Structure 1
């Protein structure tokens, strides 16, 4: 098992995921919520369906996810200007503050993972190898 790529990748993913869950528990934030809030912060006004597709979340599940985010006062749905049947997503002022806090907590998590790898050069090397494995062109 020590040389099986899939096994090692899965174990690493579980380690990173567990650290993420522990780190973000103080914000009561799950990975899917983190992803949605990050996308809304970076690209406000996207439709629900666009974000759901980007994240590979089924429409019904995404609606429930957004309901929770909206109840917390972090984001809101607005009728889209071009299509009144769809909703665009935007952070609320409270959501903007929360995302800043979330980014600081994420940086703690990310820095811990980078340190565990041995520094930024090793992180870059790992990302390069993963991109190669995925067939992803370099950015």
Structure 2
């Protein structure tokens, strides 16, 4: 007769977690930013999943929507996305019928990016979902802390 191990009487998510000392990590800004970023991204990914859009794709759609005719190089530079990765992402978005590359009116070597009608519709829905996500962040932080955090982080995102 083979011994079958007994089922764990307490599911993993109900076990009492041992307190683990993070030592100096609790004072590291980078560690805290990364942990916050993981929470924010997981929530944002879940929020946009109904549209099958990832956070980077959302950013690309937003910037193209706000800047029709933008070149791929300008977009990659502004969002700090590796150009090869951006090309792959734009191929995917174009295949879905959300974006299109048109000949640039000023430079034959580049493309002018724009949203299709379908892309504009999807972006409108995505912005509404993103607003809900931002509201959850505001609830977690409080409105004043949210505003303060945005101001503090601008030093990293403005060029």
TM-score, reference length from structure 2: 0.78
Distance (Å, rounded) in 2 between the aligned partners of 1:83 and 1:135: 28
1:124 is matched with which residue? 147
Give the deviation of 1:127 after TM superposition: 2.2
Higher Rg of the two aligned structures: 2
- Deviations 1:64-93, CA, capped at 9 Å, x for gaps: 110000011111000001112210001111
Unmatched tracts of structure 2, length 5 or more: 1-24
Pairing partner for 1:61 from 85, 88, 91: 85
What is the number of equivalent residue pairs in this alignment?
134
Which structure 1 residue ranges, 5 or more long, are not aligned?
none
Corresponding residue number in structure 1 for 2:8: none
| 1:2 counterpart SS class | helix
Question: Which position in structure 1 is the counterpart of 2:109?
Answer: 85
CA-atom RMSD, angstroms? 1.7
> What are the within-5 Å matches in structure 2 for residues 1-139 of structure 1?
1-118=25-142, 120-131=143-154, 134=156
Separation of aligned partners in 2, 1:74 and 1:127: 29
Give the superposition deviation at 1:59. 2.0
Helix, strand or coil for the counterpart of 2:69?
A: coil
- Give 1:2 deviation, angstroms: 2.5
The structural deviation recorded for 1:135 is: 9.8
CA distance in 1, matches of 2:56, 2:76: 10
How far, CA to CA, are the matches of 2:151 and 2:116 in structure 1?
36
TM score, norm. by length of structure 1: 0.89
Partner SS state of residue 77, structure 1: strand
